[in-house]
Structures are given as C-alpha cells and as structure tokens.
C-alpha cells in the first residue's frame, strides 16, 4: 500500500512538472516573438535614419552643384543662344473634284467673296497632284529675357515669311509680349497653321470673313495669365490690318484684337476650353469693321491614346461700307473628332452661313440661301511626324460660272514633319 501511494505521488509530481514545463515553453515562445518584432522595428528605424542621412548628403551635394552652376550661368546661356531648333514640314495632296481648275479658281461666295477678286487658292487648288508648301521654321532662346522664332513658306512660285517675331520669357505678374509678324490669337484656329488643322480645308466662315491666310500681320501682342487655379488668359493685339476681306485700310495700322480665354477640367478625363474674341479695324472704304467670335471645345480622354473632341466656333461680322445699312453676316462650324489610338483618327464637320443681310440682287435670282458645307475625314499616322488623311467634302456655298454649284471633292493628303517640331494644341 505504501509503495502504491509512493508511486502515485511520484506520477503526480511528474505530471505537474510536465504541465509547468509546457507553460514555460509557451511563455518563452511569446517572448521570442516580441523580441523579433522589436528587432524588426529597430531595423526599420535604422533604415529611416540612414535615408535621412543620405537625403541630407544629397541636398548638400545638390546645393554645391547649384552654386557651381550659378557661377557658369552666363557662359552656358551664351552657348545655348547659338543653338537653333529647326524643322521642316512638307504638305502635298492628290485631289478629285467635279469642277475644272479654271472655273474653281474664279468661284464666288455670295455676299463674301466676289469672283473677279478671289485670292489665289493656296491649298489644294488643282485636280490631280498638289505640292502645297514646304514650311521651314527655326527658333532659339536669345538670352534669359527673349526668344526668337520664324516660319518661312516655300511654294512652287512663292517664298514668303509666314511669321517672324520676338517674344519675352521672364516678365513678372504673368505678362508676355510678342512683337513682329505673327498669326493673331483671335478665335480658336486662326493662330494654327494649315498642317495642324483637323481638316485640310478651312472652315467656311473663316474662308468667307478673313480668307485662307487668316489674320496675320506685323504688330505687337500683350497677353496676361491670371494667377488662379483656373486658367484665364486675356490678350490684346495691335496689328497693321492688311487682311483684304474684312479690313485692308493700309494708310496706317488699323486693326485691334482683344480676347479672353479660359479652360477648366471636370474630373480627370474631361476638359472644357472657351473663348470670346473681338477684332476691330477699318476696311478698304475707310469705314469700320467689327468681327465677334465665340468658341467652345470639349475634350474627353477615353484612354491613353484615345479621345473625343467636339469643337465649335461662331463668327459675326458688322461691316460698314458707307451705305445706308451695314453688312451683317455670320456663320459657324462644328466638328467632332474621334482619336481611336495613336495611329487612327476620324471626324466630321458641318459649316454654315447663318446670316447674310446684304444686297444680293447682283446674283440675278440665283439661290443664295442655305450656304453650307459637309466634310468627313479619316487619317492614319504610322509615326508621330507623318500623316495620311483621306477627306470627302460636299460644298454648297459657291457660285461657279454664274450658277450655284454643288461641289464634290475627294482628297488624299500627305504631311511629313522632320526636326525639332513642337506639339500642337488640340
């Protein structure tokens, strides 16, 4: 009995000892986990301290480099001033039209363009093949305060200075000044060159009011960008005013242009651009002409290279020609461009003359209502600086050989750009 009792006590002691040992091991495991977590935190803090120390060293090195660069600023500026950015643009087309070249060259737009005085057609004038132009541009920073830029148009029989101006780089309070010959920032597309248009033909209202060259003259421009989160830009221009279709009084500078433009982003994908413009000057009768413009552009970014752009513009002209009533004329265009990817795009455009309150009796009963034009295009860019564009145009705005003529036109154009050519505004 005593042996049995002794064995029971020994077994109980061993059992209790085993339980205590398990508890002890569990506590040691917990402590080991805590120690490992503490060590991990210590490593993280040590790494942060190392990064901070490296950042301090980097800032110190950069400060030293900036100090060295500031010493050599004048020398580097002098070297950069001698570097020219140069580019060449080639534009050509193949054209089919249901009107022969001679008759088309003498077209009239009732109330806007008279056949005897129609200007030379600069873009795509002939059925068959056209070399429209070679455009050579160059520009450079002159010094920390000025930069210079020039564009030369080379056509088969013409060499002309398209633009040549100097602009400021570092005026305070958001101001910028440009002086020389330049394309006015009136409206939405006047300042754009032909190869950056969405269509190869000019909008009808621009063709009617200011002609294929647009408002482009020697003068001076002052622009101011407001210091706000929303982009707001106001501009004023004083120009010579040689544009014959709306101005043309050449005894002195006579054209003054003002505009207010703004853009705002809605979310991450939608942008809205809007502007109002006014051009005031004297026409060839020494009386005043006013052109008012309103433009609106909406752009939605659909993907990395995909977008949808709706662009519209309305122009109104009040032209005093010395008679009892002024010529009041207006029109618009509206175009929708779908960019599928960085290679393919397509679009449609509608043009219309909406107001033409002048004496049209000289057209001897010819229907001068519903002057409009429809266009559709598709383009392919194998690379960024090359473009093939196929365009169809149905034009009901012109008088050809004394009668209203519906013009059908199919055109394939090729545009190539080489050199340091800056990106275009959309």
Q: Is 153 within a domain?
A: no
What is residue 400's DSSP assignment? E
d(CA 226, CA 22): 76
Residue 1: per-residue pLDDT: 47
Q: Is 90 within a domain?
A: no
Q: Is 95 within a domain?
A: no
Residue 65: per-residue pLDDT: 43
Q: Is 55 within a domain?
A: yes
The domain of 15 spans 2-71
The string of DSSP letters for 130-176 reads EEEEEEEEEEEE-SSSEEEEEEEEE-SS-EEEEEEEEEES--GGGEE
> Same domain, yes or no, for 30 and 178?
no
Query: Could you give the count of Cα atoms lying within 13 Å of 237 in the half-sphere of its Cβ?
Result: 30
Q: Which of 71, 86, 104 is the C-terminal boundary of a domain?
A: 71
> Same domain, yes or no, for 52 and 190?
no
Question: Could you tell me if 291 and 209 are in contact, meaning their C-beta atoms sit under 8 angstroms apart?
Answer: yes
Q: Is 110 within a domain?
A: no
> Same domain, yes or no, for 194 and 316?
yes
Name which of 416, 425, 423, 418 is nearest 86 in CA terms: 418
Question: Could you tell me if 377 and 361 are in contact, meaning their C-beta atoms sit under 8 angstroms apart?
Answer: no
Q: Which of 71, 90, 111 is the C-terminal boundary of a domain?
A: 71
Residue 412: per-residue pLDDT: 98
> Same domain, yes or no, for 48 and 172?
no
Residue 60: per-residue pLDDT: 43
Task: Give the CA dihedral 183, 184, 190, 195, nearest 10 degrees.
Answer: 20
Give Cα separations from 332 to 103, 270, 296, 352, 377 (angstroms).
26, 24, 12, 6, 19
> Same domain, yes or no, for 319 and 193?
yes
Give the CA angle between residues 115, 133, 334 to the nearest 5°. 65
> Same domain, yes or no, for 53 and 195?
no
Helix (H) or strand (E) holding 69: helix 2-71
Tokens 């209203």 correspond to: 404
Q: Which of 40, 56, 71 is the C-terminal boundary of a domain?
A: 71
- Centroid of chain to Cα 257: 20
Tokens 């942060």 correspond to: 48
Q: Is 393 within a domain?
A: yes
Residue 14: per-residue pLDDT: 45
Residue 423: per-residue pLDDT: 63
d(CA 305, CA 76): 37
Residue 341: per-residue pLDDT: 93
> Same domain, yes or no, for 66 and 177?
no
Residue 5: per-residue pLDDT: 45
Q: Is 86 within a domain?
A: no
> Same domain, yes or no, for 43 and 185?
no
> Same domain, yes or no, for 60 and 198?
no
**Per-position pLDDT tens, the chain of length 426:** 445 445 454 444 544 445 555 665 566 666 666 665 565 555 555 444 443 444 444 444 444 444 444 434 444 444 555 678 999 999 999 999 999 999 998 899 988 888 765 557 889 999 999 999 999 999 999 989 999 999 998 887 788 999 999 999 989 999 999 999 999 999 999 999 999 999 999 999 999 999 988 999 999 999 999 999 999 999 999 999 999 889 988 888 999 999 999 999 998 899 999 999 999 999 988 899 999 999 999 999 999 899 999 999 999 999 988 776 678 999 999 999 999 999 999 999 999 999 988 777 777 778 788 899 999 999 999 988 999 999 999 999 999 988 899 999 999 999 999 987 666 666
Residue 32: per-residue pLDDT: 62
d(CA 407, CA 86): 39
> Crossing angle for the helix pair 73-80 and 2-71, nearest 10 degrees?
70
Domain count, the chain: 2
> Same domain, yes or no, for 176 and 44?
no
Task: Tell me the CATH number at 332.
Answer: 2.40.160.10
In 209-269, beta strands by DSSP E? 216-225, 231-239, 255-266
Q: Is 137 within a domain?
A: no
> Same domain, yes or no, for 273 and 400?
yes
> Same domain, yes or no, for 214 and 340?
yes
């Amino acid at each position: 009995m005593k042996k049995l009792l002794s064995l029971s006590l020994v077994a109980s002691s061993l059992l209790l000892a085993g339980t205590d040992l398990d508890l002890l091991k569990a506590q040691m495991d917990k402590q080991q986990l805590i120690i490992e977590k503490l060590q991990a935190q210590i490593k993280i803090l040590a790494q942060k301290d190392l990064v901070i120390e490296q950042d301090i060293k980097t800032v110190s090195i950069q400060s030293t480099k900036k100090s060295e660069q500031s010493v050599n600023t004048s020398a580097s500026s002098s070297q950069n001033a001698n570097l020219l950015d140069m580019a060449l643009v080639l534009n050509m087309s193949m054209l089919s039209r249901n009107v022969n070249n001679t008759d088309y060259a003498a077209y009239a737009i009732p109330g806007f363009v008279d056949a005897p005085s129609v200007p030379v057609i600069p873009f795509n004038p002939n059925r068959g093949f056209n070399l429209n132009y070679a455009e050579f541009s160059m520009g450079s920073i002159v010094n920390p305060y000025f930069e210079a830029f020039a564009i030369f148009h080379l056509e088969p029989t013409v060499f002309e200075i398209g633009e040549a101006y100097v602009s400021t780089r570092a005026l305070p309070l958001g101001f910028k000044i440009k002086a020389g010959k330049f394309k006015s920032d009136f409206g939405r597309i006047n300042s754009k060159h032909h190869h950056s248009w969405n269509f190869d033909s000019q909008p009808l209202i621009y063709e009617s009011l200011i002609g294929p060259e647009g408002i482009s003259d020697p003068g001076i421009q002052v622009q101011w960008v407001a210091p706000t989160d929303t982009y707001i830009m106001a501009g004023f221009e004083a120009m010579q005013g040689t544009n014959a279709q709306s101005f043309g009084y050449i005894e002195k500078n006579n054209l003054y242009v003002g505009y207010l433009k703004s853009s705002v982003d809605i979310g991450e994908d939608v942008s809205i651009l809007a502007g109002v413009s006014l051009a005031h000057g004297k026409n060839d009768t020494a009386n005043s002409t006013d052109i008012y413009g309103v433009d609106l552009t909406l752009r939605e970014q659909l993907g990395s290279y995909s977008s949808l752009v709706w662009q519209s513009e309305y122009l109104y002209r009040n032209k005093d020609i010395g008679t009892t009533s002024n010529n009041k004329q207006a029109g618009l265009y509206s175009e929708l461009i779908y960019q599928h990817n960085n290679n393919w795009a397509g679009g449609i455009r509608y043009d219309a003359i909406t107001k033409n309150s002048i004496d049209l009796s000289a057209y001897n009963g010819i229907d001068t209502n519903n002057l409009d034009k429809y266009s559709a295009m598709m383009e392919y860019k194998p690379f960024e600086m090359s473009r093939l564009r196929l365009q169809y145009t149905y034009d009901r705005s012109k008088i050809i050989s004394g009668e209203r003529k519906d013009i059908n036109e199919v055109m394939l154009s090729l545009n190539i750009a080489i050199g340091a050519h800056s990106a275009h505004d959309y």
